[in-house]
Structure 1
Amino acid sequence: MFERRMDWQIKQVTTNKKQFLSLLLLADEQESMIDRYLDRGDLFVMYVDEESWIAVAVVTNEEEGVYELKNLAVDPAYQRKGIGRQMVDFLCRHYQQTGHTMLVGTGDSRQTVSFYQSCGFTYSHTLPGFFTENYDHPIIEDGKVLTDMIYFRKRLS
């Protein structure tokens, strides 16, 4: 899988996924949590050139036709430039061929929730206590300690 735009390209990476850990940790700050899904997930990397990656995403197949965006991270130098939205759009088009739903779980931070809503996701459900039960330290986003994971869904067809 490969897509090219004017100044970047997206490739699926199947080997040596941990080389992208520095970017993955921007979206999920505990390596042991990333280890839970990285090997079983599809890793996509957005490159400016072969040596400069600017965004990553990991998508897992959760059940027949249902995929979950587990990690989406953009290098801070490229944030707020539409890169994350371009990656989400690419992933939704890619998985539309084999699936009907994309899920994403996130913390209850205004910025992240509004981002996914602007990408066409709608509220699905909440996993109470997810962050406090699964992370070895408090997860803080936008000055707020995260407790519950909020799930959003998007129809792919």
Structure 2
Amino acid sequence: MRVELINGNKKRFLDLLLLADEQESMVDKYLDKGTMFAIYDDDLKGICVVTKERDRVCEIKNIATYEKFHGQGYGKKLIDYVCDYFKDDCDTMFVGTGDSPLTVPFYKKCGFVESHRIKNFFTDNYDHLIFEAGKQLVDMVYLKKEL
């Protein structure tokens, strides 16, 4: 298993990016300024994009693994890798997600704790309703992890 830094042609991973953020115009807002990583275990398993938000603060903007590889530890390995990668430049790593029974417990398992919420983020910023695990996503839940 290896993690690689992706420097160019990040859009070639659009299929994965859209698994975690299903509107391309939203992905475009952070993709160029973000640092992208890909995890491989023989072949590509997942990606992660992290942005530097302000002094000593980073944010995971997108993390996705192909569905057939869910539950096999690739997402956690990516989170561990990016937290280690940014620990010299950042004290805090944030991640924003929908209030989903799938993603919030995953991030908590990775050591994140709930920080704050942005009301109506998904309904105000996306051109369609978003559902995950049968639940409509409305508010953005921010979690943080001290590095």
User: TM-score when scaled to structure 1?
Assistant: 0.91
Q: Does 1:125 align with 2:116?
A: yes
CA distance in 2, matches of 1:79, 1:122: 22
CA distance in 2, matches of 1:117, 1:150: 12
The match for 1:4 is none
Structure 1 residue 24 displacement after superposition:
0.7
| 2:128 aligned partner, one-letter code | H
Structure 1 residue 107 displacement after superposition:
0.4
| 1:100 aligned partner, one-letter code | D
Structure 1 residue 78 displacement after superposition:
1.1
Deviation digits for residues 42-96 of structure 1 (CA, Å, limit 9, x no counterpart): 01011234xx311000000000010000000001121111110111011111111
Structure 1's unaligned 5+ residue stretches are 1-7
CA RMSD of aligned residues (A): 0.8
Matches within 5 A, 1:18-37: 18-37=11-30
Among the aligned pairs, what percent are the same residue? 48
The match for 1:134 is 125
Give aligned pairs, total: 147
User: TM-score when scaled to structure 2?
Assistant: 0.97
CA distance in 2, matches of 1:75, 1:147: 24
Structure 2's unaligned 5+ residue stretches are none
| 1:125 aligned partner, one-letter code | H
The match for 2:40 is 47
The match for 2:69 is 78
